[in-house]
């Protein structure tokens, strides 16, 4: 008889578990508290069909497990977000929705240049600390508690610091530099370097008629999708999984587990009791902490309480839509603003989305998707931390910090013969989950985002728990990729799947 699996979360880790186990003969049900799949990687459409997302998504060339999953998901030529069935199938896969590599440009506030120039001292400094990390196994756990900023303080050139700390730490690795650890940073850097000789992947480009096939390698740049993330990845994945037999319970939130003799006997979802043979928990660690508290699971609650302390990320996503066509010197550009108080990064989505309408009536000619990395820093206009601003004030500050950049304005003028002003902005939007808490008067996200830092490495959960049929996953669990990332989420899902497959003597999945 096939075993019944309940997977809590329709994010990347949960969908990976469902993907692997449904293909091995299990009965799988995915329980998702939202009305859309994808977790924090999802996108959605705002008023007038304008694309929005939690934060723009970069895919590194070493995302081996994520790419493996993408290559198994066939695209549907007529797929829409509400399709629900297989209409017309092509041989292309989600993997072909990856763009050509991104070219990052550094936008300075004062000077009007955009190349990142690292000197020999920068390279020597990074090489020294990388070797120190790689060669010191016994002390490596200590490095998780050392701040990266303290390591690099006064040791790098201005551009070296901008690139190696402001850019790589935040936009590159998804950490907040004020609490980023020495060990997390150099672990990812070592993955980049070690994979250069062993990872190579043929990529069939379908982005546009002029795009050519190419080979991804670990020393290449990052990628984005050639359309909004949910439409490029999660909608086809939903169709694939539903076609295979996965059941989805949307708008359904896990409240508590019912325990007997060190085993989960049932659980409460919304107000209903549900039963399964195996329970796989891949939800946000902050929500998991609440579930463990409600379920009187003391050890797991205490662990997650420590895991979540001082680890709420305040990375805010925003969109700016311009009412004029903006030309760029390259078709794969993204911008870093390390001189900005909030350490802003963004990219013009129309450069990568060749066949995607930016709005229904065609008034938006250029749509920029950006992320604030350092909301805790003081704003210039209002002279208080970003998280103490209203959403309207925050948007004013974002626009100010972008438009004042000499580098950006030179690039725009050289290619368009005009300078950008705030009057050129037709559309402004901050991700809908960010709102002012009426009690604290601070901007907070409804679904908190966990972030890797100096406080939490010791408390990352193992996959097996003290309950013989409960397992924990997600990119906050222990993975080889270490940092919170899409690749970490997929790897976590595959590790969980292998635990279940081994338990029932079935062939393991590729990792």
User: Residue 246 to residues 30, 79, 238, 407, 468: CA-CA distances in angstroms?
Assistant: 7, 19, 9, 50, 23
Tokens found for residue 301: 């609650």
Q: What is the pLDDT of residues 339-397, one digit of tens each?
A: 999 999 999 999 998 788 999 999 999 999 999 999 999 999 999 999 999 999 999 99
Where does 59-123 show beta strands of DSSP type E?
A: 74-76, 89-93, 103-106
Closest of 373, 336, 381, 327 to residue 180, by C-alpha: 373
d(CA 144, CA 181): 5
For the residues 479-488, what does the mean pLDDT come to?
91
Q: pLDDT tens for residues 24-54?
A: 999 999 999 999 999 999 999 999 999 999 9
E strand or H helix that includes residue 336: strand 333-337
> Which residues of 193-260 form beta strands (DSSP E)?
200-203, 214-217, 247-249, 254-260
3-state secondary structure 337-363: ECCCCCCEEEEEHHHCCCCCCCCCCCC
User: How many CB atoms are closer than 10 A to CB 309?
Assistant: 11
Residues 6+ apart with CB under 8 A from 471: 278, 279, 280, 281, 463, 464, 465, 496, 499, 500
Compute the distance between CA of residue 156 and CA of residue 307 in angstroms, rounded to an integer. Answer: 32
Whether the CB-CB separation of 335 and 377 falls below 8 Å is answered with no
Residue pLDDT, tens place only, 134-187: 887 767 788 999 999 999 989 999 888 888 888 888 878 888 889 999 999 999
Alpha-carbon distances, residue 78 vs 73, 94, 467 (angstroms): 15, 14, 44
Residue 110 buriedness (CB in 10 A; 0-12 / 13-18 / 19+):
exposed
The answer on pLDDT for 232 being more than 80 is yes
Kindly give, in sequence order, each residue whose CB lies less than 8 Å from that of residue 433, ignoring residues fewer than 6 positions away: 54, 445, 446, 447
With 50 as the cut, is the pLDDT of residue 214 above it?
no
- DSSP 8-state code for residue 262: T
User: What is the chain's percent helix, strand, coil content, to nearest 5?
Assistant: 35, 20, 45
pLDDT at 269: 98
* DSSP classification of residue 431: -
Two structure tokens written together for 213: 């096939």
DSSP state of 372: E
Tell me the pLDDT band of 91, cut-offs 50, 70 and 90: low
Quote the pTM value: 0.91
Q: Does pLDDT of 210 surpass 80?
A: no
**Rounded-to-integer distance, Cα 82 and Cα 151, Å:** 50
The 8 Å CB, 24+ separation contacts for 185-194 are 185/148, 186/129, 186/130, 186/133, 186/134, 186/143, 187/133, 187/482, 187/483, 188/481, 188/482, 188/483, 189/126, 189/130, 190/130, 190/133, 190/134, 191/62, 191/481, 192/60, 192/62, 192/218, 192/219, 193/130
């Amino acid at each position: 008889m096939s075993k019944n699996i309940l997977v809590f979360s329709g994010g990347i880790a949960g969908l990976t578990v469902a993907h692997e186990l449904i293909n091995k003969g299990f009965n799988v049900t995915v329980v998702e508290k939202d009305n859309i799949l994808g977790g924090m990687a999802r996108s959605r459409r705002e008023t007038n069909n304008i694309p929005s997302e939690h934060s723009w998504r970069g895919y590194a060339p070493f995302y081996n497990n994520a790419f493996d999953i993408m290559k198994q998901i066939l695209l549907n030529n007529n797929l829409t977000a509400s399709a629900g069935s297989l209409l017309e199938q092509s041989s292309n896969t989600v993997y072909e929705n990856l763009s050509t590599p991104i070219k990052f440009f550094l936008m300075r506030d004062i000077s009007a240049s955009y190349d990142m120039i690292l000197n020999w001292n920068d390279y020597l400094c990074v090489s020294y600390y990388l070797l120190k990390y790689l060669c010191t196994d016994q002390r490596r756990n200590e490095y998780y508690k050392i701040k990266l900023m303290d390591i690099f303080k006064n040791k790098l050139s201005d551009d070296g610091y901008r690139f190696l700390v402001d850019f790589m730490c935040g936009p590159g690795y998804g950490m907040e530099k004020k609490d980023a650890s020495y060990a997390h940073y150099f672990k990812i850097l070592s993955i980049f370097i070690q994979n250069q000789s062993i990872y190579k992947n043929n990529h069939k480009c379908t982005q546009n008629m002029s795009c050519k096939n190419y080979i991804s390698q670990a020393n290449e740049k990052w990628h984005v999708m050639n359309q909004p993330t949910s439409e490029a990845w999660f909608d086809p994945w939903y169709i694939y999984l539903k076609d295979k037999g996965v059941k989805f319970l949307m708008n359904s939130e896990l409240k508590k587990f019912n325990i007997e003799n060190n085993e989960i006997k049932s659980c409460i979802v919304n107000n209903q009791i549900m039963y399964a043979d195996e329970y796989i928990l891949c939800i946000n660690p902050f929500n998991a902490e609440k579930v463990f508290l409600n379920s009187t699971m003391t050890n797991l609650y205490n662990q997650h309480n420590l895991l979540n302390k001082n680890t709420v990320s305040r990375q805010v996503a925003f969109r700016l839509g311009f009412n004029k066509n903006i030309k760029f010197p390259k078709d794969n550009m993204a911008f870093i603003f390390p001189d900005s108080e909030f350490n802003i990064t963004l990219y013009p989505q129309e450069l990568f989305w060749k066949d995607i309408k930016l709005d229904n009536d065609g008034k938006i000619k250029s749509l920029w998707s950006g992320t604030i990395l350092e909301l805790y820093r003081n704003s210039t206009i209002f002279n208080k931390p970003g998280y103490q601003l209203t959403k309207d004030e925050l948007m004013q500050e974002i626009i100010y910090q972008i438009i004042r950049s000499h580098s950006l304005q030179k690039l725009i003028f050289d290619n368009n013969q005009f300078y950008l002003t705030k009057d050129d902005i037709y559309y402004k939007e901050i991700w809908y989950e960010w709102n002012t808490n009426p009690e604290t008067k601070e901007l907070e996200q409804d679904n908190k985002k966990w972030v890797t830092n100096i406080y939490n490495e010791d408390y990352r959960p193992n996959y097996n728990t003290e309950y013989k049929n409960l397992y924990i996953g997600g990119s906050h669990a222990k993975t080889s990729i270490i940092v919170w990332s899409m690749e970490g989420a997929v790897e976590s899902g595959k590790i969980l799947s292998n635990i279940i497959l081994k338990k029932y003597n079935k062939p393991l999945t590729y990792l």
